[in-house]
A and B are shown apart, each in its own frame.
Chain A
């Protein structure tokens, strides 16, 4: 079975200059602290961290143990240019592989910044199977949005 690809994107503005946004999202040790649901993490080097998340699949999942599952992942900054950062997240959730490529582009809007993001998620076969019982699509979408929102909250602090 081929792995399934899911894509999401979004855009918004923050009241911070582009440099400040870029500083945060290219500094993995700071950025990781902004991601919600991180239980613990370990920065491996400048561009790589190991992170444990607790992911909420929602109370409608009929098995209690499967509603909030712990996911171990590595997050890596694969490229960082002037106005664009790419993150790669490789992990395992509920015994299945998941990999997400997140691209964030920051446009200077004279004192504020526009952030365009684009996420592509690849789900392992078992997570795809789980899609028959749980809305995986909205789940991955929510995780992507939560992550971006986490960055924004950090920036507005």
Chain B
């Protein structure tokens, strides 16, 4: 079976690329070695950045974040909670940073408001009473699976196939082009072959490995970040420390919990992460400077995910990785790789990657994802993929006590159907 584009990786970047390209009319197959969202995207911190965090150190990323923050809220309202965010100054160093921070917010065109400390404490009673200054910004919370499944289902509805448990294990080159892609089927262990005009490498922290399968030398170092989940939601808003980005500076209210993050550590293998008691202790101690109660409530669990540091001969990753970089390789000439990004900018990554791919395929069709309302925004209206019994199960959530909590359950049912049908249409049963 032949495709215009094969996308490797079912994280936020690969999924938005598959959606964008399908909307431009290309025949797309997305291959994910595990399940959609099983990489970094399903283990992020939950923050839909306003960009405020980056205004001083990475102004370009800040501008991208605020634009995407507004777009995501429009196209995926069901996957986002508009919590707002506070930046809080706890000590003198934080306070010294305030002026630079505020001029950065102005430059990046991010709406902000200096909040009277008394008001902030009334709004967020669990905030450290010693807080010295508070600035409000349009941070939001994004529910990872809700968004990822919505993009996957949307892409499928626009014609893309989304295959799970399919690991790309090699490429066959013909001259300086990839002629076929070798895929290991995780269910049967069979190795299958797919042909495609263009390959998009959106394998996140594994992108270096995937590129090396195509003979591209990349130097990758995985870095791990830990997040700790606490039993209660202690704030309405996202709470950020008012200082240059560092480890342990963000508390996200996620549903009924609070999540503190993150650490930063170098690891050897993105497939083996381990979390220590010190990580939990560190995040609790940093977090409790902003919200003291954090030190007193139960930790439910901790989880971790991985970002890649990547070096490619001839490419200045330092300049370009803020916030992400799309690389068109010389050989293989029909592969494009993306490195970096944030969950927040996943749609933009998809647009840029698709622009590059469209150019390679001789198409001038532009991206329309910025105005495309994702599937899930009106979830219960439209459950066409589900067969009768699953549809009535899904619909039973509607109007019930579990309607909101049920959304991700229904999206999961649909995701399963999408993956099953994609396999069937590939003939890989």
Contact = CB atoms under 8 A, between A and B. Distances in A.
Interface of A: 54, 59-60, 62-70, 72, 94-96, 126-127, 129-130, 132-133
Given A130-B266, A132-B221, 8 more contacts: A62-B318, A65-B223, A65-B263, A68-B245, A69-B264, A94-B265, A96-B266, A129-B268
A124 to B, nearest CB: 9
Nearest to B261: A65
B246 A65 contact: yes
A126 B267 contact: yes
B224 interface: yes
A65 B340 contact: no
B27 interface: no
Given A62-B309, A133-B311, A68 B317 contact: no
A97 to B, nearest CB: 11
B248 interface: yes
A59 B248 CA distance: 17
Given A54-B246, A67-B245, A133-B309, A62 B265 contact: no
B57 interface: yes
30 contacts: A54-B246, A60-B318, A62-B318, A62-B322, A62-B340, A64-B53, A64-B245, A65-B223, A65-B225, A65-B264, A66-B309, A67-B57, A67-B244, A67-B245, A69-B246, A72-B278, A72-B282, A94-B264, A95-B264, A95-B266, A95-B267, A96-B266, A126-B265, A126-B267, A127-B266, A129-B266, A129-B268, A130-B309, A132-B221, A133-B311
B246 A70 contact: yes
User: Interface residues of B: mostly helix, strand, loop or mixed?
Assistant: mixed
B128 interface: no
Given A60-B318, A63-B309, A68 B244 contact: yes
Contact of A63 (B53, B267, B286, B307): B307
B184 to A, nearest CB: 29
B58 interface: yes
Contacts of A70: 246-248, 282, 286
B321 interface: yes
Contact of B268 (A59, A60, A67, A126): A126
B54 interface: yes
B382 interface: no
B247 A69 contact: yes
B246 A68 contact: yes
Interface string B322-336: 100000000000000
A68 B225 CA distance: 13
A65 B309 contact: no
A87 to B, nearest CB: 23
B402 to A, nearest CB: 36
Contacts of B278: 72
A157 B54 CA distance: 36
A70 B245 CA distance: 12
Interface in B268-289: 268, 278, 282, 286
A6 B57 CA distance: 29
B100 interface: no
A146 to B, nearest CB: 15
B341 to A, nearest CB: 11
Contacts of A62: 309, 317-318, 321-322, 340
Contacts of B245: 64-65, 67-68
A89 B414 CA distance: 55
Q: Which of B54, B246, B311 has the most CB of A within 10 A?
A: B246
A153 to B, nearest CB: 17
A126 B248 CA distance: 21
B57 A94 contact: no
Of the listed residues A67, A127, A130, the one surrounded by the most CB atoms of chain B closer than 10 A to its CB is A67
Nearest to A40: B285
B262 interface: yes
Identify which of B57, B262, B264, B340 gathers the most chain A CB atoms within 10 Å of its CB. Answer: B264
B223 to A, nearest CB: 6
A126 B244 CA distance: 25
B116 interface: no
Interface string B238-265: 0000001111100000000000001111
A152 B300 CA distance: 46
A54 B245 CA distance: 12
A95 B224 CA distance: 9
A145 to B, nearest CB: 21
Which 10 residue pairs of A and B lie closest in terms of their CB atoms, listed nearest first? A95-B265, A68-B246, A64-B245, A62-B321, A65-B264, A126-B266, A66-B264, A133-B309, A60-B318, A94-B266
Contacts of A72: 278, 282
Interface centre among A62, A127, A132 (most CB of B within 10 A): A62
B96 interface: no
A64 B317 contact: no
A132 B266 contact: no
Contacts of A65: 223, 225, 245-247, 262-264, 307
